[in-house]
A and B are shown apart, each in its own frame.
Chain A
Amino acid sequence: MKKIKKYIVATILSSIFTQQIFSQKVVLINGAGATFPYPLYSKWFYEYAKIDKTVNFNYQSIGSGGGIRQIIAKTVDFGATDGIMTQEQEKLAGEEILHIPMTAGAVVLAYNIPNFNQQLNLTAEIISGIYLGKITKWNDVKIKKENPDIDLPDKKIVVARRSDGSGTTYIFTDYLCEISKEWKTKVGKGTSVNWPVGLGGKGNEGVAGIIKNTPYSIGYVEISYAIQNKLFYAKVKNKSGKYINPSVESITAAIESKAKNMPKDFKVSLVDPEGENAYPISGFTWILVYKKQKDKVVAEKLIQFLKWAVTDGQKYCADLIYAPLSENLRKMVLDAINQIEY
């Protein structure tokens, strides 16, 4: 027995010591923010750990608002957000913060019409009409006009939307503001808004749950939730008049079409783009870093990781249904990362 005890003590002690020796070399980088890109970021951290064993990432997916607050308070090394920082927030930060786009996602309109398994065509007018409470029935003339071959039921539309603040809501209301003057003046855009109609579900999973369980419902969710929950979702007519199926390719097409006039700070909305094959309701998600870094070791490691994420790391996007950055954009983003000083 004594021998066993000694053995156990020795093992514990040795493991503590070896860990300590190794941990001296490992750099810990803390981040916090958006929940939307969390699955992708986790994958990146996991894969990156194989490349560089001397860095460890700790990411808290507390929401974009939390990410912005934490980077302003300098309690994290990087923040993450689905919406750009407001001018007031940048003033609060005091120093220049870079927005680095990492990937993009789409918001889809998913629906549940019993005994109906076709893909609906929707337009900006229909979507804003439904969410303003003006189009209330599935067999409304406006919906019929875009879907002439489909027999739509004479049923009330049950509208579902997010009840919690969310980047998904930001992208969706950003789109509605872009395409509907009435929406812009009556409701506006934000991570949460004063909705004219609709049942609120908490999280993408909450909205997906409402759609799944409520006949004749429609709601907006992040694309991967619609796919995972096997919900039907609509094609949406884009600026050039084509009906576009939301997919990784059509989101990247949206990025590409905006890349031509991309501002240097990347603070740009992807909604309602020009491109012929571009899906109209999508948005970037950004990592926030201070331009002037304080800690040299952390800064070096963070820059290396960011460079890897926007180049090699992009190959992990599509599997998790995030849109990779287009080739042109990657170069611009690398230039931006090179501006970080330490």
Chain B
Amino acid sequence: MGNKNFADKLFFSVTKVAAFISFALIVLLFIMLIKESGLSFSKFGLRFFITKVWDPVVEQYGALSFIYGSVISSLLALLISVPISLGIALFLSEFASKKLKEFLSIIMSLLAGIPSVIYGLWGIFVLAPILRNYIEPFLQKIFGFLIFFQGEPYGLDMLAAGIILSIMITPTISSISKDVFESVPRNLREAGLALGATKWEMIKIAVLKTAKQGVIGAIILGLGRAIGETMAVTMVIGNVHEISLSLFHPSATLASVIANEFAEATTDLYVSALFKIGLTLFFVTVILNIFAKFLIYSTTKKYKV
């Protein structure tokens, strides 16, 4: 008996250490980022976040254009991805037969498993020419009076980045949403139907309303993935350090500038400025993740039977 007790205790300590390691990693990462960006903080301070000149030759660094690029490309991705993902999730949880559901779920997880560099290559060689030759001229013809669709369409721009990201985050949002929809208790649905609601009305009243917070959580997780995505975006966004309202204008993101410039960053200040961009990205991602976890937690808890 004593032996068994000891094994239990040992197992407990081992798991405790393992759990603590993940926490320690986050803290260490945070400390490292703060420390390494110190030089940039002392030189540029908070001005770093509101200026947009990025000139390694004269050592002037400002992150505004990258923050703008990250936020807009991710929001654009959500705009495209959320309706599609919710459609997929609703179909899978409410309408699909069991076999079809299994098949489509496998497809979705496959889509989630494709390395981002593959998406990037597809973006350069397939998506960009289609955008340049067909979609962007078409959009310009119809909505050309709007500032969002002005300028020369190159196919390597904010729109391309948004589309690539939307494809990449669709599996995340749809599979989590599907789980949330399925966690809505059966009696709520039955109550809806018993009141004489059609299937769509029942979904609207019982499923969507109940799952709202969980779906928001799924969307925010998708947003977190979109903001952190590096390789695919770098390959299609055109990497221009400017702020433009037009979706046909090339841009750059926080993650893409680190991927692009870190290897050849030669001076200490340059490296420090890149670390500071990493810190910005870290903050945004951590905050979004905490928020998402909290939302998902609160929905699933409420309806646990």
Chain A residues within 8 Å of B, Cβ to Cβ: 62-66, 68-69, 83, 86, 88-89, 156, 158, 163-167, 187-195, 198-202, 206, 209-210, 213-214
Interface status of B156 (Cβ within 8 A of chain A): yes
- Chain B residues positioned under 8 Å from A89 (CB to CB): 266
- Of the listed residues A68, A88, A200, the one surrounded by the most CB atoms of chain B closer than 10 A to its CB is A200
* Residues B215-248 near A (CB distance < 8 A): 234-235, 238-241
- Please judge, given known A-B contacts A65-B265, A165-B265, A214-B155, whether A199 and B57 are in contact too, CB under 8 Å: no
Q: Which of A188, A194, A200 contacts B239 (CB 8 A)?
A: A200
- Chain B residues positioned under 8 Å from A213 (CB to CB): 124-125, 128-129, 155
Q: Known A-B contacts: A167-B264, A189-B57. Give 6 more (CB < 8 A).
A: A66-B264, A163-B252, A194-B57, A194-B241, A200-B240, A202-B235
Q: Which of B57, B152, B154, B263 contacts A193 (CB 8 A)?
A: B57
* 28 A/B residue pairs, CB under 8 Å, sorted by A: A62-B263, A83-B266, A86-B267, A89-B266, A158-B154, A163-B234, A163-B239, A164-B260, A164-B261, A164-B264, A165-B263, A165-B266, A187-B57, A188-B58, A189-B57, A191-B56, A193-B55, A193-B56, A194-B55, A199-B240, A199-B250, A200-B238, A201-B239, A202-B259, A202-B260, A210-B156, A214-B128, A214-B155
Q: Is the CB of B239 within 8 A of A88?
A: no
- Chain A residues positioned under 8 Å from B238 (CB to CB): 199-200
Q: Is the CB of B57 within 8 A of A65?
A: no
- Please judge, given known A-B contacts A156-B152, A210-B156, A213-B128, whether A86 and B266 are in contact too, CB under 8 Å: yes
What's the least CB distance linking A305 to chain B, in Å?
25
- Chain A residues positioned under 8 Å from B41 (CB to CB): none
Cα(A51)–Cα(B149), bound, Å: 62
- Chain A residues positioned under 8 Å from B154 (CB to CB): 158, 199, 214
- Chain A residues positioned under 8 Å from B235 (CB to CB): 201-202, 206
Task: Name the residue on A nearest B121 (C-beta).
Answer: A209
Interface status of B189 (Cβ within 8 A of chain A): no
- Chain B residues positioned under 8 Å from A158 (CB to CB): 154
Task: Name the residue on B nearest A34 (C-beta).
Answer: B264
Cα(A187)–Cα(B152), bound, Å: 24
Cα(A239)–Cα(B260), bound, Å: 34
What's the least CB distance linking A307 to chain B, in Å?
29
Cα(A63)–Cα(B263), bound, Å: 6
- Please judge, given known A-B contacts A64-B264, A213-B128, whether A194 and B53 are in contact too, CB under 8 Å: yes
Task: Name the residue on B nearest A165 (C-beta).
Answer: B264
Cα(A170)–Cα(B176), bound, Å: 47
Q: What total of chain B residues lie within 8 Å of the partner, measured CB to CB?
A: 33
What's the least CB distance linking A280 to chain B, in Å?
22
- Chain B residues positioned under 8 Å from A63 (CB to CB): 263-264
Cα(A275)–Cα(B155), bound, Å: 42
Cα(A199)–Cα(B124), bound, Å: 13
- Of the listed residues A164, A193, A209, the one surrounded by the most CB atoms of chain B closer than 10 A to its CB is A164
- Chain A residues positioned under 8 Å from B256 (CB to CB): 163
- Please judge, given known A-B contacts A206-B235, A213-B124, A213-B129, whether A198 and B263 are in contact too, CB under 8 Å: no
Cα(A192)–Cα(B58), bound, Å: 11
Task: Name the residue on A nearest B125 (C-beta).
Answer: A213
Q: Is the CB of A164 within 8 A of B57?
A: no
Q: Is the CB of A188 within 8 A of B266?
A: no
Cα(A86)–Cα(B269), bound, Å: 14
Cα(A136)–Cα(B59), bound, Å: 29
What's the least CB distance linking B183 to chain A, in Å?
42
Q: Mark B121-152, 1 if CB is under 8 A from A, else 0.
A: 00011001100100000000000000000001
Cα(A166)–Cα(B266), bound, Å: 11
Cα(A44)–Cα(B265), bound, Å: 27
The list of the 3 closest CB pairs from A to B, nearest first, reads A165-B264, A200-B239, A163-B239
- Of the listed residues B250, B261, B266, the one surrounded by the most CB atoms of chain A closer than 10 A to its CB is B266
Q: Is the CB of A166 within 8 A of B264?
A: yes
Q: Is the CB of A209 within 8 A of B125?
A: yes
What's the least CB distance linking B247 to chain A, in Å?
15
What's the least CB distance linking A116 to chain B, in Å?
18
Task: Name the residue on A nearest B250 (C-beta).
Answer: A199
Interface status of B30 (Cβ within 8 A of chain A): no
- Chain B residues positioned under 8 Å from A66 (CB to CB): 263-264
Q: Is the CB of B239 within 8 A of A202?
A: yes
Interface status of B54 (Cβ within 8 A of chain A): yes
Q: Is the CB of B263 within 8 A of A65?
A: yes
What's the least CB distance linking A206 to chain B, in Å?
7
What's the least CB distance linking B239 to chain A, in Å?
3
Task: Name the residue on A nearest B152 (C-beta).
Answer: A156
* Residues B50-91 near A (CB distance < 8 A): 53-58
Cα(A88)–Cα(B267), bound, Å: 9
What's the least CB distance linking A285 to chain B, in Å?
14
Q: Which of B55, B128, B240 contacts A198 (CB 8 A)?
A: B240
Task: Name the residue on B nearest A66 (C-beta).
Answer: B263
- Chain A residues positioned under 8 Å from B260 (CB to CB): 163-165, 192, 200, 202
Task: Name the residue on B nearest A167 (C-beta).
Answer: B264
Q: Which of A62, A165, A189 contacts B261 (CB 8 A)?
A: A165
- Chain B residues positioned under 8 Å from A165 (CB to CB): 56, 260-266
What's the least CB distance linking A132 to chain B, in Å?
15
Cα(A192)–Cα(B57), bound, Å: 8
Q: Is the CB of A202 within 8 A of B263?
A: no
- Of the listed residues A69, A89, A163, A195, the one surrounded by the most CB atoms of chain B closer than 10 A to its CB is A163
Task: Name the residue on B nearest A199 (C-beta).
Answer: B238
Task: Name the residue on B nearest A200 (C-beta).
Answer: B239
Cα(A164)–Cα(B238), bound, Å: 12
What's the least CB distance linking B300 to chain A, in Å?
41
What's the least CB distance linking B55 to chain A, in Å?
4
- Chain B residues positioned under 8 Å from A214 (CB to CB): 128, 132, 154-156
What's the least CB distance linking A65 to chain B, in Å?
4
- Chain B residues positioned under 8 Å from A69 (CB to CB): 266
